[in-house]
Structure 1
Amino acid sequence: MDAFATITQKRMTGGFRIDDIDGKNLHIDPGPGALIRSYQFGRDPRKLSGVFVSHSHTDHYTDAEVLIEAMTKGMTRRKGIVVGSLSVIEGFKQWGPCISDYHKSKPEVTTLGANKIKKFGDMKVKGTKTIHGDPTAVGFQFQLKDITISYTADTEYFEKLHKYHRSADILVASVIRPRDERIPGHMCSDDFSKLIAEVSPKLAIMTHLGMKMIINNPEREAERIQEETGVKVLAARDGMHINLDQVMGQQQRLDDY
């Protein structure tokens, strides 16, 4: 976790949403500001179908409970799904739990680990392995008939990481440092470039950028990785919107995103 990027809010830390996927709206890793940023960018949290939390670090879970309240209409309806790591849902040693029993009482709650699969309608969600400070941290792969979206969550690169994200059309990764500046539990740009080459997605997105990445021009890093891999690579921006139909279509241009 890059605490300085979070506490300074050099970049927003509300996580990201996947909307209208199998008729569902999902919010992933709702850190500080997720509620207010949802409204700022025209996304109504009351229309959520699911909240996903990868691990029990504050920049990934702090707004989860208030989003659950929005999703369940102020805790008055049984609605939606909540999926998280063991630490988030049940607690593990000094990590978590991050969601109270009260907030778990209305939605359907699932604890997900690596290679575990949960089905929600026509969508399958697979937990992906991480190596991170929270030993139960998990990434998510959302599998549907027409599209597969993978999110590494916070993890350092390891030899078999690509196997958990194979078949991803869109690969979203936490990339905290530029070039080869590695720190434990996180990927740098060079690690992400290697992962992209192994997975071969249609689109790759760097998010959860640390302070060093932010001040070292993440867009330029994305361009460098794109040149190395031949895959379209984006550095996430606050309020960025990506049209999934364009990504999956045959006629999209690289400047459409």
Structure 2
Amino acid sequence: MRITTLSLIALLFAVSCEINDSNESKNQNISGNVDIELYRSDALQLYYQEIIENPDHPNYAEAEFDYEQVNEIFDLIKAVYELDVPQRDTVFLVHQIHARYCNMTSMLGVNVQTDAPEIQNLAAGVIPTGNEQLDGILEAYAIDSVGVYYGYPDFPWLSLYTSEAYNMIPVAEELTTVNSILQATMYGGCIGDGNTISLERNNDFATLTFSIGWGDCPAGCINHRCWEFRVIGGAAEFIQAYEN
């Protein structure tokens, strides 16, 4: 029987997943650390996801992020990192799980009126554009770089880039007040699925779930394995591991 290269790779990947899961109890012997400061970006992404999912969120209409809240989420992640249990090593050292970066904080897309003088300047990277209203918005949100979509101007979309991180929901809304900008949209959502961190929190406790995915992940991942941790009063505990 002839085994193709792709079949062999798929078989080895499946076996490696089974080995990783079955040997989880041995992970406590792994040495090494990660730079926990790298998870500040994860904390921002998790906070942004809270905002996007809740139109009544106090930060929903504010472009500036509440970094006290971001730091609180970072502290939750850090509490899990400081646990002395094998599952901590599994998520941070073995799988090196981070939150998926699906919601852009420094770019958005605009559908524009291509014959407007300020848009012609903008598409050419000329800032200020000569339109006082538009230039005020560009300056307020540190928008200092522009990209044209493939097919422009027949496909009349531009990408705007900022040098700082913002909640793009109100930025997009403000841009549409300019007559020559017909539509503005934040880049949100990821294609497919993969490893990630999810967060649920209330006034009493927070739950952080670290997960890995495998099996046709461009279409959404057939399999997931999850490690759930709870943080109460700054103290973390491992709750359970499961597959779905």
TM-score interval for Structure 1 and Structure 2 normalised by the shorter chain: under 0.3
Q: When the two structures are superposed, what TM-score results if normalisation uses the length of structure 2?
A: 0.20
Bigger relative contact order, structure 1 or 2 (CA pairs below 8 A, ≥6 apart) = 2
Normalized per residue, the structure richer in helix is 2
Could you say which structure has the larger radius of gyration?
A: 2
